[in-house]
Structure 1
């Protein structure tokens, strides 16, 4: 490997390629092998091979900032917004594990990115609804803090008149913008309050408070959101959801789910699935799409079918809902509605009727039922 590195430093790329091929015929791949392989493939313009080396390296270590830097270089040949987001992720992981010289290099690279690209690689506003589930809210907030780049997001929590100490705890958090309701306004109205309070240029991430963000979950949702200008919203796969958004086996502990999900949150050649709608337990909405579609329909208060409704409204405006199979978020599930199953069933049936009344003819006309 030292011979290959010396050849690369001396710009002897053809010889380095030959030595690299010989080396990989007799050694197992590790992070360094993948970094060198991606670098060589980039030099020769073999971008598909470059991507596979990056993917292999991040499968070994999903926190390697050098690989995200290379991923940014890969995307720079296709999509500068995705490149910019990748460089941001490289900086985030470099701050945690790298050195000052590398950090300064990545920061300069980001600054040199085209101004129009920075404008459209928007930051994210988390919008979280809280109602009497403080322990879950704490875990959710902590997972955001420990897995997401603080320079790229804000957190807005709308509390629906909790009486379990949630308001008191949330009020003490310096990095949270808290909206305190005097009554339970339900999910759609609460989300709308949060959206209206968000920075006006930010994309919006509707996230249930009974979720755990995993390393790179948000990153891959953002990459998916800007994979195509017609993508209006992206959603994550998980362990608990409807709409065929569940992947993987049933595990015995949260730690096992987190290990499994972290292994999913890596590059993939075709991770996207177009959906009619996405479950709003974790849904990232592009600001341009939001401005066109509008807020959630409070007809579906206190909750259920607002996500079905929003998906169809996204479709009506010419945008797509995309499920990202390489973004996994753990979901405890039904920690608000699940406390009263009969109440949940009643609301479900009422809102299902509202949804059919609103969309029945459209669904039939477009062969969606």
Structure 2
């Protein structure tokens, strides 16, 4: 692949797009006739040319499968045109061929992106340009209905039937259309979908997997909002009504999702139940709209991907580069948030999740690490390490934060834990504190800027901003203090200047004799080259010098890696000569020294 070849490929795509637009215009004017059918023969040649041009690329792609689906429906179109079956022709053109070609455009644009200037092709690269919120809102007002509920299924008919029935049973209080995408199933899903009265059904002849399966369904949406769901969920009374109350409470909210019985990312809601009927009754009692249970997030897992339809179209739906779907959820969260919208977890609403049926086959591969690396390659950030809540959050003491109206987050990565502290203060005390953020790492600037208007990029902690709007009630420093080049005296002195009397300071320090620290030392890791070693008494003394008194101390043991566990085991055996009892004792001792210290201080400044 080179620049010339990439440009030729995109020009070929443009020819196909123009053919689609010509046919669409003829249909709109009611002037399509049999002589236009030759365009489909030209499109077949174009599809073969595109497949050949991209056959030897190294990036994973599904050009072959997309092309096969388009070819299948071109034959349908030609036959329906000959038989003058106008309704079937229009349906297949609109919801199959046109959308499939757009999916092909995104796929090929991704393949050649390193060889073209994206600014020259804004239609193919939705990340180019600014998302205009006014345009999104205006398009929403022209929508054909309130919500398009888009369900994607690949086999697992019994679960799919339960899912569809739960939607039909529990969504009578919101105007919606139901879009059912059969992603190449072979178990009767096609026939079942065709039996649902009033549903807009999309059948893929060949499985395009989860990302493209969702995208073709979302491209068919005519609602102001789209709510994309998997077939391994059961929905509950008021689920969609509650999501609508939340997303329409603030025009800056661009993505909401409910809780579920089985999910990660702190979106799980545990409700014991004995049957589907029992669960529905308990969910009915639980699903009462409650704004104090709405949590702004950096990343949402889409139990339901509920967003303005026009916004999804503008950002290009799910990113096609996430070949097996893993981390496409994180990616679409980033795209929506970076477009200037808030993400809100609706903890006032519960659904039931059986667990990863839609992507079960991909989980048998190395899909998690593959998707994680794709995310890193795209953003220069690790979704797990940079955009998830710190393990320390669950151990923080929030009992003395009732008067916190302003928070300064310092080196909070993408801000996930900082937002959760704000959420907790809101749900507990009814206060939404103003956020300010300082970061010494520029790679986080775009993301923290999406959750706070007051963001300051610093070289170090010597120069905390003087532009802060008043003094701060709570300072939360996520990066361990021993990782800064600044000494403790400098850090505490500068913090004391910006904090209110009786303000709170939360910071962390690495345990310098943890297994990870020892292992890094043995391997001469660059990550600890400039790390300081702080003992507790030193921290207490330096903090008191500048008006801080300790109120709590917690030893946090984050989840240990398999590599760390192996180090513990090997070291214990080595030091004890393999003696079992002493080995277990030493292993316990080593485990206890693992982790970071989290300390909370109260300012006693006068």
TM-score range, shorter chain: 0.5 to 0.7
Q: Is the Cα contact below 8 Å between 1:258 and 1:330 reproduced in 2?
A: no
Partner Cα separation in structure 1 for residue 310 and residue 212 of structure 2: 21
| Structure 1 residue ranges (4+ consecutive) displaced by more than 6 angstroms after TM superposition | 116-121
Alpha carbons of structure 1 residues 267 and 341: separation in structure 2 relative to 1, 3 Å: closer
1:218-367 equivalences in 2 (<5 Å): 218-338=240-360, 341-343=363-365, 346-361=366-381, 365-366=443-444
Match of 1:185 among 205, 208, 216: 208
Say which structure, 1 or 2, has more relative contact order (CA 8 Å, 6+ apart): 1
Partner Cα separation in structure 2 for residue 117 and residue 303 of structure 1: 27
Give the alignment's Cα RMSD to 1 decimal.
2.6
Partner Cα separation in structure 2 for residue 249 and residue 169 of structure 1: 30
1 or 2, which has the higher helix percentage?
A: 1
1:133 equivalent in structure 2:
156
Partner Cα separation in structure 1 for residue 290 and residue 144 of structure 2: 21
Report the CA distance between 1:123 and its aligned residue. Answer: 0.7
Partner Cα separation in structure 2 for residue 150 and residue 262 of structure 1: 14
Secondary structure class of the residue paired with 2:364: helix
Residue ranges of structure 1 left out of the alignment (5+ in a row): 1-115
**TM-score, normalised via structure 2 length:** 0.39
Partner Cα separation in structure 1 for residue 226 and residue 248 of structure 2: 14
Larger Rg: 2
2:146 equivalent in structure 1:
123
**TM-score, normalised via structure 1 length:** 0.62
Q: Is the Cα contact below 8 Å between 2:231 and 2:358 reproduced in 1?
A: no
Count of matched residue pairs:
251
Partner Cα separation in structure 2 for residue 248 and residue 188 of structure 1: 28
Partner Cα separation in structure 2 for residue 125 and residue 156 of structure 1: 7
Partner Cα separation in structure 2 for residue 220 and residue 243 of structure 1: 20
Partner Cα separation in structure 2 for residue 284 and residue 151 of structure 1: 14
1 or 2, which has the higher strand percentage?
A: 2
Partner Cα separation in structure 1 for residue 141 and residue 203 of structure 2: 33
Partner Cα separation in structure 2 for residue 118 and residue 196 of structure 1: 18
Alpha carbons of structure 1 residues 289 and 126: separation in structure 2 relative to 1, 3 Å: same
Residue ranges of structure 2 left out of the alignment (5+ in a row): 1-138, 387-412, 414-442, 448-477, 479-606
Q: Is the Cα contact below 8 Å between 2:257 and 2:344 reproduced in 1?
A: yes
Q: Describe the superposition over 1:191-218 as per-residue Cα deviations: whole angstroms up to 9, x where unpaired.
A: 110111111x531101111111111011
